[in-house]
Structure 1
Amino acid sequence: MKGFVLGGVSSGVGKTVATLAIVRALEDAGYDVQPAKAGPDFIDPSHHEAVAGRPSRTLDLWLCGEDGLRRNYHRGEGDVCVVEGVMGLYDGDGSSTAMVAEALGLPVVLVVDAKAGMESVAATALGFREYADAIGRDVEVAGIVAQRAHGGRHEQGIRDALPEDLAYFGRIPPNPDLEIPDRHLGLHMGEEAELPTAALREAAETLAAEQLAAVAREAAPPSTAAEPGPASGRTTGRVAVASDSAFCFRYPATIERLRERAEVVSFSPVAGDPVPDCDGVYLPGGYPELHAAELEAAGTLSALGERASDGLPVLGECGGLMAMSQSLTTADGDRHEMAAIVPADVTMHDRYQALDHVELEATCDGLTADAGERLRGHEFHYSRADVDGDARFAFETVRGDGIDGDHDGLLEYESVGTYVHVHAESGAFDRFLDRVAR
């Protein structure tokens, strides 16, 4: 599958809107588009899926490794893959957009804010292209998309200023309807704030779809097709996955891996669904703080707490950890009872409490790793967990904050709750499946 990477000159330049407009332009031109996201984000991919109609692939070198990143890319389907970058093109020591583009061998289309510039837009693009050579990165900046650019003289001035070997792929016109509302953790999810179809189509019409398709290139293949993990065969396990507006941060590859190796059933704690008959439960991240009153009233979490105390393994990540706690206090100061599986009380804060790529080392054999093994993941949360004095942890933090700055993975019964999101390429979910299927 051919593809290209959409890099930005900075965060906030409008990469997500440009990505959605490009996906729409390519599909209107008859191409079958596979969206993808460089970095560990869950929110931008939800917007990709709303427009493209298929899950967006997660491409992060820190989470997946180079081979895992390439495997995940090649699991996509379609004619053209559009990879939205993270932050600015060269930003990030664990997995920058430039690093992802280099690992895949894909060209970069640069999104430049043209709101108040013409020649300066070209100078910026030229600088980004030359910087790759200066730092020894094999990254090709093929051309630009001018974000917030008007037509007429403004657009022509940008075209004329670009050197011949930097292509002009079109513009995204300034339009208040092309703004996605945000909140803590980032933008609203795609199903909550879809861009108006008419505005997106208008933006798509100002892009050179055929020229964008022509710049796409075949991505580098993995050196091996093998997946990581202690076992690769199908298990006899049945895994219940929480899935609703409170538990919506799931990598497509994670659900794929679970379905490949076990029977998967979904349930909604917000709706009060009963805990399914299963061998293990996965509580992904999301927004339990926005549904704390509903979760408390529904009764599913309290029932899950009882099942966990009887030995049902529960794996919770970030929002899942919050739901596994004894209580959750919202930013408004309202306290709500949660599942009471792990000995912690969680409080929301106005500022984020952690944001980084993370590495953990297991201190004992557990649900997702054996003693001494290391897991790489990502953390981004506005809550803080205050743990009881006798709390036990599954991991020490090698990089990142974890739960208390030094540890992550609260242990209780056969369950573990962590602030860290991990990808299926880490092997963590294979460990989980092997343990719950015993």
Structure 2
Amino acid sequence: MTARGLIIAAPRSGSGKTTITLGLQRALRRSGLTVRGLKCGPDYIDPAFHAAATGAPSANLDSHAMPPGLIGAIARRAMAEADLVVAEGSMGLFDAVPGPEGRTGAGADIAALTGWPVVLVVDVSGAAQSAAAVALGCTLYDRRIRVAGVILNKVASPRHERLVRQGMERIGLPVLGALPREASLILPERHLGLVQAGETADLEARLESLADAVSAAVDLEAVLGIAGPATAMAGLGATPPLPLPGRRIAIARDAAFSFVYPHVEAGWREAGADLLAFSPLADEAPPEACDACWLPGGYPELHAGRLAGATRFLAGLREFARSRPVHGECGGYMVLGRSLIDADGVSHAMAGLLSVETSFAKRKMNLGYRRAVLAADGPLGPEGAALTGHEFHYASVVTLGEDPPFAMVTDPHGSAPAPAGSRRGLVTGSFFHAIARAEAG
């Protein structure tokens, strides 16, 4: 483990840390370094952008949903394959959910666990010297971590930059760069407020523009000088993320089924599994040679008509489920149900392997960490096993139907256990994205 690392964080969401992270990753890669990206927290969109920027896989580090051993294993894998790890924080640096110190989901937890220094991205629009007071608060708030420098974002003019720099000099925090207010540096947003890397037609051009802007405005040598070794992970043993659903896993992968946590797939492969991708949108059935089928999350509501007409896929999935386990997460769960109502209110028949009926016509955001206790034996473990994970969806359940629940679910804020998802025979599903086995307690 000789690679150095750092974490790009911010006092709040919307400060520009994602675009600056991507620009740094691409710029440092262009300088000849082997760069790996990592994402703090459960966000499943940003790692794909990191992979595009660096040309190498990215993954999540989540102090709430992952045991420390799993975080250590993911970080060590990244360091073993890179000269530099550029990790991206989540929301604000200290934003978190209730939990023991170090297990709250905050980016600061990952900085403390790895020992990597933090580079703070500060949106200075609407402020001058006062931006330094915010940055100073971040340096003092948590003594476990070290904020080693700051990148100023959305600088209005040379005069504005001078005033902000005066404040940073007063608190002794190095300014590593200053980016002007520039709309072209903003990545596009779309369905659910998210755009995925594979859906950004001009992604390479955007990444090159970001790298050009960052190279012109940021002292890359100073950033490299700040990066440090992972000093705080000694003794963290590896922890497998999730149980193995099968030795040969059929996994849906196309524009409708686009999301699996990278560490989950990596963990299955390390456990000896083969993952065989197939495309429901191309009307492909799960490969017959497989002994389990996984339908990931994604955007099936955007492709409901095509999925309803994918007769080979639906017939093959139903036949597969007669003898082998099938599990669907979020969008995959919706496709396993009886019907899916799209945003226009049109109902489309789905696989009918579960009795649930879902709708995207009436949008309601469901977001947050979950702890799921399995209600019966299944591909993710035996009855009573606990998993940590995350939900993010706008779809709602119109009719749950007669199927018993997949799991009993709670959140970190003290919610009472509530039934979630559905199961019937060898088929299971829920809106819950599994991240890791839950620790006892």
What's the TM-score, normalizing by structure 1? Answer: 0.89
Letter in 2 for 1:344: V
State the aligned residue count.
419
Match 2:220 to one of 209, 217, 228:
209
| Offset, 1:72 | 0.9
1:173 to 162, 180, 184: 180
Q: Equivalent residue of 1:191, what SS?
A: helix
Counterpart Cα distance in 1 of 2:243 and 2:375: 22
Asked whether the 8 Å contact 1:304–1:339 carries over to 2, the reply is no
Q: List structure 1 segments (4+ residues) > 4 angstroms apart after TM superposition.
A: 229-232
Q: Deviations over 1:375-431 (max 9, x none)?
A: 110011101123444221131113279xx98112411121210211112x4289xxx
Deviation at 1:103, TM superposition (A): 1.6
C-alpha spacing 1:267/1:112, structure 2 compared with 1 (3 Å): same
Hey, what's the Cα distance between the residues in 1 that align with 2:30 and 2:126? 30
The corresponding residue for 2:273 is 262
DSSP 3-state at the match of 2:275: strand
- Give the 3 Å change call, closer, same or farther, for CA 389–340 of structure 1 in structure 2: closer
Aligned twin of 2:377: 365
Quote the Cα distance in structure 2 between the aligned partners of 1:46 and 1:376.
22
1:183 aligns with 2:195: no
- Distance in 2 (CA, whole Å) between partners of 1:388 and 1:28 is 51
Tell me how far 1:150 sits from its aligned partner: 4.5
CA distance in 2, matches of 1:347, 1:14: 33
- Aligned partner of 1:108 in structure 2 is 118
The more displaced of 213-222 and 289-298 is 213-222
Equivalent in the alignment of 1:63: 65
SS in 1 for 2:407: strand
| Cα deviation 1:310-333 (Å, max 9, x = unaligned) | 222111111111111111101210
Hey, what does 2:101 align to over in structure 1? Answer: none
Provide the rounded CA distance (Å) in 2 between the counterparts of 1:391 and 1:197: 46
Cα distance, 1:299 vs structure 2: 2.3
1:207 Cα deviation (Å)? 1.1
Quick check: 73-82 or 405-414, which moved more? 405-414
For 2:357, the equivalent position in structure 1 comes to 345
Give the direction of change, closer, same or farther, for the CA distance of 1:377–1:51 in structure 2 (3 Å limit). same
Q: How does 1:202-241 map to 2 (within 5 A)?
A: 202-205=212-215, 206-219=217-230, 220-221=232-233, 223-228=235-240, 237-241=247-251
Tell me the distance in 2 between the aligned counterparts of 1:396 and 1:174. 47
2:132 match = 122
Amino acid at match of 1:215: I
Given that residues 230 and 427 in structure 1 are in contact (C-alpha distance below 8 angstroms), is that contact kept between their aligned partners in structure 2?
no
SS of the counterpart of 1:61? coil
Query: In 1, distance between residues paired with 2:438 and 2:49?
Result: 27
Q: Which runs of no fewer than 5 residues in structure 2 stay unpaired?
A: 98-103
Task: State how 1:236-251 maps to structure 2 within 5 Å.
Answer: 237-251=247-261
Equivalent residue, structure 2, for 1:299: 311
Structure 2 partner of 1:84: 88
Pair 1:321 & 2:333 matched: yes
Q: C-alpha separation between the residues in 2 aligned to 1:359 and 1:231?
A: 16
Identity %: 34
Structure 2 residue identity aligned to 1:363: A
Q: For 2:361 and 2:228, locate their aligned partners in 1 and report how far apart those are by CA, in whole Å.
A: 44
Q: CA RMSD in A?
A: 2.4
> Gaps spanning 5+ residues in structure 1: where?
429-438
Match of 2:408 among 372, 396, 399: 396
Structure 2 length-normalised TM: 0.88
Q: Secondary structure at the match of 2:405?
A: strand
